[in-house]
Amino acid sequence: MNPEKDRQLGWHVLLLIIVLLSLAPILFAVSNSFKTLGDAYNTVLSIIPRNPTLENYLHVFTRLDFLKITLNTFIIASSVTLFKTTTSILAAYAFVSFQFKGKSILYFILISTIFIPFSVTMIPNYLTVSSFGLRDNLVGVILPQLADATGIFLIRQSMRTIPKSILEVAGMENSSSFKTLRDVVVPLIKPAIISTSIIFFINSWNEYVWPVLVLKSKSMFTLPLALQMYISSEGGTEFTIAMAVSVLTMLVPLTLYLVFQKYIISTFTASGIKG
């Protein structure tokens, strides 16, 4: 008996169980999206459908304005990602490169907002959007999400790994702050920018609570809101269609994560290098 190998085997078994538990909801949704309603209720835990069918997906594409709903989701997610990434880069650069009174206190206050629950800011944001007449409008969903403290933190941590000598050389060449940011800093922290952008996009793509407060008409719905159309308080009378919408909803964020996972992992790892 080798205690070290037994310990490693135990950790591998534990990690395998965690992975299986994480994949279970995805397998459940994919499996039931190919079942008829009756088959789904009779074999709800069976992974392999007895009589596979595409009728649930045909329903989504023919009876639901799926392309318009997907476009709404993409417009919101892309706009939020663009604004959050831009403001995160600019703010992070200011905190790293510039010296001004109260910088540390301001940064501390900014980062502290990460821990404020959405329920606290939800009502003020809703009242602001309503006063601007932006209810049931995609802009109303986007407007309160133009900046993000988490993005500022992650990108700032990445910028802090850049040797000061590089920035000093750029300053000696009389390069403007914006030019230094564009030509020197951004290329060096490109992986962090990509990973942070992907995180913003996925979070916005999957967002439900805020859009459901602002958007009322079906023509303005996003994919998470369309999913809610097929779920009732009794568990859903169109359960299999809901699973088909779930599968289609998860395709884009899941693909993005699989493609850019190394950037996301490296960014979170690097964020702990310097405090």
**What pLDDT does residue 273 have?**
46
Mean pLDDT of the chain: 87
Over 60: is that where the pLDDT of 275 sits? no
**What pLDDT does residue 1 have?**
56
Tens of pLDDT, residue by residue over 68-108, are 999 999 999 999 999 999 999 999 999 988 888 889 999 99
Q: Please name the residue that has the structure tokens 């996972």.
A: 261
**What pLDDT does residue 50 have?**
84
Q: Given this structure, which CATH class describes domain 64-270? A: mainly alpha
Label residue 47 by pLDDT band (50, 70, 90): confident
Could you state, in order of their start, the residue ranges of all structural domains in the chain? Answer: 1-53, 64-270
Tens of pLDDT, residue by residue over 226-254, are 888 887 644 456 888 989 999 999 999 88
**What pLDDT does residue 272 have?**
53
Over 90: is that where the pLDDT of 129 sits? yes
% pLDDT > 90, the chain: 48
Label residue 269 by pLDDT band (50, 70, 90): low
Tens of pLDDT, residue by residue over 180-210, are 888 889 999 998 899 899 999 999 999 999 9
**What pLDDT does residue 235 have?**
46
> The tokens of 81 are what?
């990602």
Label residue 168 by pLDDT band (50, 70, 90): confident
